[in-house]
Structure formats: structure tokens, C-alpha cells
Structure 1
Amino acid sequence: MPYNYLIKDIAGKVATVTLNRPDKGNSLSPDVLEEIRALFTQLGTDPDVNVIVFTGGERYFSAGFDLGEIRQLEKVSNEAYIRLFHQAYRAILFCPRPVICAVGGPAIAGGFDLTMMCDIRYASTRAKFGQKEIALSLTPIMDPLWRIIGMGRAREVALTGRIYDADEAEKMGYVSRVFAEGELLSSVAEIAQNMAGYDQQCLRETKQLSHLVADQNLDGAMQIQEWLFRSYIGSEDNHRRIDDLQAQLAARRKQ
């Protein structure tokens, strides 16, 4: 399908998806959400893609809901719009490929929710994060937010509607690393390319494992991890990668 609000680029097993609605601050209209749902669903089964980078560019990520669209809704006519939001969220959250979010500017309300659905979040110093739903008489998404930053912090984010800068987001564990303005996309591209060199199935099952263990008791989680580890250790690819690593270490010792 043609994409009017997303730019897709695939290079070296990395797909970069860029929100492209600059005149509206990359706000989320039904058309934007449908494109997100469709593209992430498609990329999740693309054999040429190992890792996905999701971004709005160096300037901003997404201002959130398209308020003009929401203002037209009534309680009796909101079902399709709400379903579409959650279909877009789930397409990212449960995409078989790891999704890295590169946040170059404000990620607010629905834009914040999109970053929450990604596996790893990196930000530039320009980035800002916040759930403003409470200020609009809307209930915000708490899960998976609480799994990322803990329930206490998640309650603060949800109930205060406060906007957090990139440093605060990093300190609370929401963002993994903050890059200088203008260096975000190149830095994240390097990280993604390194990840994309790993075994595709192992990447996929490691992401699935991160979802599974969150709902297990400790004993159950350990059993799942033991079984999965056993299914990979000793494989041909495992042996090849060990040989490559040992060769790299030997070369470094000679330097």
C-alpha cells in the first residue's frame, strides 16, 4: 500500500520508519494510525528485516492525538477510532522484529504511547515525554508503562500529566541513552546495524522471551529461559559466532 504519512527505508537488514506529517507535528489521525498498523504488520514478516527503527526525525517525534479528529467524536461513535489506536499500538508491541524508537523531539500523549510500545528507546536532548491524557479527561495507558519504569513512577506520569525532559526520562529508566542534538539518528542507525547482524530467529525469540517472563513467577521464568537457551547452544550458528569472537579476541591480543 502507498504511505502518505510514513517514510520507509530498508538498508542492511534495518528498516527505518519515519513519521511524516510535519505540518501537524506528526499528530495521529486515523490515516496515520492505519498506516502504522499496516506497515509494522508487514515489516514483522519481511525476511529482509531484522531490526526496525521508528522515528519522527531529529526535530520531533509526535505531538500525539489529532485533537481536531477527537473533538468530532461522540461516545456512541468512538469505537472504530479507539480500536484503530490499539491495533497500531499492538502492531508495534507484538511485532516479531525488535523495534528501536529514536525520539528527536516531543513525544506527547498518543505519541508517548507509541514510544512505550517499542523495545528500546533512545532520545536526543530535544526530546520531551509526557502523558497529557488526564488533562483531556482521558484515561492513559498504564501497561506496559509500569513494566518499564515501575508502578510508582508510572502513576506519577499518568496522574500528573507532567512533561519530562530527556535527562529525566533517562534517569527514570524510560530512555536507555540520550544523544546530543543532531546525532540521534546516526547513532541509533549504528546500534541498529550492529543488532541486525545477529541471528533473526534469536532476536525474535529474545523479544518474545521479554514478554513471557514478565507474567511468570521466578521458577517459571527460569524454566522458560533454560529451555530456550538449550535450544540454541551448540547450534552451527552458535559455534560459528564463537569462532568469530575468538578470532577477534586473538587479533586484539596481537595488536
Structure 2
Amino acid sequence: MNDTEDIEDIEDSGSSGEEESTPRSWFYRDRDVADAKRKAMYQRHKDRPSIKKINEELGLSDDLYPVMASLEEMDAVLEDGGTFSDIFKTLVYSDAMESALAFLLLVEEKSNTQVKSPEQLLKLAKLGKKAEKDVTSAYYEACEFKYQLALEKILRDGGKYKDLLGLNPEAYGLPDEGEDERKTHVETAIVLYYGFIETAVFRPSVRDVAEELEAPYEVILKASKCMDAKKDTDEIYKDF
């Protein structure tokens, strides 16, 4: 089977005269097509050294879609005769850590060098002194993204709160940070993994999550509120 067959199967399957046509069916159809495209992209990139390495470390497979999508855009710029400077100016966004990680991986691939500092990234990409501040920011965004992915893997694998705290951010290129900052990273990972967001239709029980992670109840309660809009009452979320 080639990379696109699974997409075509979804798009072409079924009789148009008999196929259900409701908002619900449209939602599931769109979701299935999107999932197939993600898997097809992963098949195209799974043997790419940078993707293979990060996948082996974090076990993400097609969940690396945003990074792979950014890499494809960056590859196209180089194929058209562009430079790292062109890519950095147009495709690395301050609000999208996946683009920063893609840029870091691309530079490492092309230079056959593991980048260990923003200064090294600046030099290998030949971006010039004026870009130093932005390159430094992008480098640490890429490192933070890898760290967050590693925290997510711990949660997926059934790890506990102590395991999250035990993960060293320095192993992912981040500078040494205090205990409070590390706890903030961990709380963010918990919020995103369990869906403690204001717009979530179904929010998990704070107590259940605390018991599952063997974490202090107060820590999970605080994390569950951090993305809520401020309200007049102190009790934003009740745990039943």
C-alpha cells in the first residue's frame, strides 16, 4: 500500500446514494481523512534521521505531524534555492514551538551535527549577529517542546507525578531551572494531557487524577484551574 491509499479508501468508499449525510457523519469523515493524512505523512518521514531519532526517544509516530509538516515546508524552500535565513524569516513562528523544533532538526540534519546551544545554531545556520536574540528564543522553544513531549510520554506510559518531577529539563537542552519552574512545566503537561481547559465539555475529576498520578490533591486542583477565566468566586471548579 502506498502513502495515499488509506486516504483514498476513506474518500472514495461507500455509495453516494446510500451514505449518511449529517453533521455527525461529516465530522467523523473529516476526522478520518485528517487522521489518514497524518499517518501518510509519517510514512513519508519515518525513516528520516531526525524524525526516526525523536520517535525512538518519545514514541510519537504520527503525533509528530506538526513538526513533519513544518519540515516539508522548509525542505521546499531549500529545494527552490532558499537558505536557512529565508526559512527562519518566513517559517519559524514565535507562537509555534513545532516550527522551532523543525528548524533545529533541519539544521542538525544538513550539518550532521547535534546542536547543543543557541550560539551553535546561529553559527551553523549562518544567520548573523542581528538574529541572535530570535535564534536564542527559537532554540529554547524547540528544547521546551521536546521536554513537553517527553513529559507527555511519561503520562501516556502510566508514569506518576514523581516521575514527571524527576525528568531533567537539562537533558533536553533547557538551562537549569528552579523547583517552582519545573513544577510549572509539569502542571502544564498535566493540564494538556487530561483536558483541564475551560472549553472542555467533560473535565476529569481532580481527585481521580491525583490518585492516578499519586500526586498531592492541591497540586492537581491548582493545575485544573490555571487555564480557567478569572471569576468572582474563588471556587472555580468543584470536585465531586
Greater relative contact order: 1 or 2 (C-alpha under 8 angstroms, separation 6 or more)?
1
Which structure is higher in strand share? Answer: 1
Please give the range of the TM-score, normalised by the shorter of the 2 chains: under 0.3
